[in-house]
Amino acid sequence: MTRTQLALAILALSIGGFAIGVTEFAIMGLQREAVADLEVSIAQGGHLVAAYAIGVVVGAPVLSLLGAKRERKSYAVALLVLFIAAHIFSFFAPSYEAMLVGRFASGLPHGAYFATAALMAAQMAGPAKRARAISVVLGGISVANVAGVPAVTWVGQMFGWRWMYMVVALLALITIAAVAAWAPRQRTPAGASMRAELAGLANQRLWVGIVLAVIGFSGMFALYAYIAHVSAEVTGFPDAVLPWVVLLFGFGGVIGNFVGGYFTDKSVLGTVLVAMTLVAVLLTCFAATAHMPVPMLIFLFLVGLAASALGPSMQTHLIDTAPKAPQLAASFHHSAFNAANALGAVVGGAVIDAGFGLRAPSFAGAAAAGVGALLCLYSIWLTRRAGQKV
């Protein structure tokens, strides 16, 4: 295929990442509105974040296994149809409990879609540029934090927070049209099957990588799940400023994602180690300066940059650890990422409820990222012991 065809195909897949990024992160910017509308506590509002994340954790391996032998383009479209249906249900959900169900269902196709899209992009781009191609697909999430999340946060504040779901459903519909028009059909490799995928999971490096991703990523989510409350109640920003706050975080994420993709093609675990260490340091700095507007914004931007650099590096690492189970390994990145999302939201809510204040989730997140850096050192040792490139 030509460079133009390749670019359009990867762009089509990244639009889906954009839609998913909006629904995953916009709920955090609209949490104060959701809590007030549903008449629940701040911690229960955090469970709306966790419910989506748990849906990803469950759905990613299950739906990826079901798609192990499916033609990838048509399977990506089928996953988006499920995604749209769940968002329409969420828009009309009559209660907090029904909203939790809708959030869970919305998360089910998330990981399988990204796994399918990442494998499609990597195969189209070839071995030398696979991480950069994957970073473009994952970049949909980062761009969502710059363009989609602030815009949807503003729409939610103006017209009602539930309109987030209809906006995301429309974005997913646009993705279906783009994928149908631009992405080529792509058969799975010969011999691919559910049995082969499951057999390929007997790998210590894969499971260490999953634990590394869960613990390491949870630090950023411990901060971001409660950013609306920190922004208003610690820093003292008015609600009208919040879309700009999440825009700044998202801008850092866009830069970090593509920087991470570039350096991942040079050293996969080296990029993970540097990024994870930076997240630990920067979260500590954010928590310490959250009451001061300018330092708070600077460190929020830098946390977004460092955390997003982990995306393409961890995705590539997990694919490398299980070459005989590419679909499942790719999906486990998103299971781990969203298990971290749930863990960060729940731990953050717990330390807030325990009376430690709204800065406490960021301090807890810094500790988690520090543990992640130590686990990364162990992963480097395992990789070198296996005689493979770090």
Contacts of 320 (CB under 8 A, 6+ apart): 268, 388
Look at residue 380 and tell me if it is in a domain: yes
Look at residue 390 and tell me if it is in a domain: no
325 against 266, higher pLDDT:
266
Residue 20's closest CA among 171, 150, 239, 217? 171
Other beta carbons within 10 angstroms of residue 384's beta carbon come to 12
- Structure confidence at residue 283 (pLDDT): 97
Other beta carbons within 10 angstroms of residue 142's beta carbon come to 28
CA dist., res. 195 & res. 190, Å (int):
13
Look at residue 39 and tell me if it is in a domain: yes
Q: Contact at 8 Å (CB) between 25 and 144? A: yes
The DSSP secondary structure of 224-292, one letter per residue, reads HTTHHHHIIIII---GGGHHHHHHHHHHHHHHHHHHHHHHHTT-HHHHHHHHHHHHHHHHHHHHHHTTS
Give, in order, the Cα–Cα distances in Å from 314 to each of 73, 163, 354, 376. Answer: 24, 33, 33, 10
Amino acid letter for position 249 = F
CA dist., res. 251 & res. 66, Å (int):
35
Total number of domains constituting the chain: 1
Look at residue 207 and tell me if it is in a domain: yes
Give the mean model confidence (pLDDT) for residues 65-69.
Answer: 83
Domain range for 22: 3-385
Best mean pLDDT range from 80-84, 207-211, 306-310, 347-351: 80-84
Tokens 């500590």, located at residue? 284
CA dist., res. 377 & res. 298, Å (int):
28
Look at residue 12 and tell me if it is in a domain: yes
Average pLDDT taken over every residue of the chain: 89
Band (pLDDT 50/70/90 cuts) for residue 95 is: very high
Residue 31's closest CA among 239, 288, 218, 302? 239
Look at residue 381 and tell me if it is in a domain: yes
CA 20, chain centre distance (Å)? 8
- Structure confidence at residue 191 (pLDDT): 62
Q: Contact at 8 Å (CB) between 322 and 196? A: no
CA dist., res. 86 & res. 98, Å (int):
11
CA dist., res. 221 & res. 291, Å (int):
19
Look at residue 203 and tell me if it is in a domain: yes
Say yes or no to pLDDT of 367 above 90: yes
Look at residue 326 and tell me if it is in a domain: yes
Residue 255's closest CA among 146, 163, 341, 380? 146
CA dist., res. 118 & res. 309, Å (int):
16
Amino acid letter for position 276 = M
Amino acid letter for position 64 = S
Gyration radius of the chain's alpha carbons: 19
Q: Contact at 8 Å (CB) between 261 and 140? A: no
Longest dimension (CA), the chain: 58
- Structure confidence at residue 189 (pLDDT): 67
- Structure confidence at residue 190 (pLDDT): 64
Band (pLDDT 50/70/90 cuts) for residue 77 is: very high
Residue 65's closest CA among 211, 195, 213, 214? 195
Summarised one tens digit per residue, pLDDT across range 277-290 is 999 999 999 999 99
- Looking up residue 82, the CATH number of its domain turns out to be 1.20.1250.20
pTM for this structure?
0.75
Q: Contact at 8 Å (CB) between 80 and 47? A: no
Summarised one tens digit per residue, pLDDT across range 4-57 is 888 899 999 999 999 998 998 888 788 889 999 999 988 788 889 889 988 988
> In this prediction, what percent of the chain has a pLDDT beyond 70?
98
Summarised one tens digit per residue, pLDDT across range 122-172 is 888 877 677 778 888 877 877 887 788 888 988 998 999 999 999 999 999
Tokens 């889906």, located at residue? 16
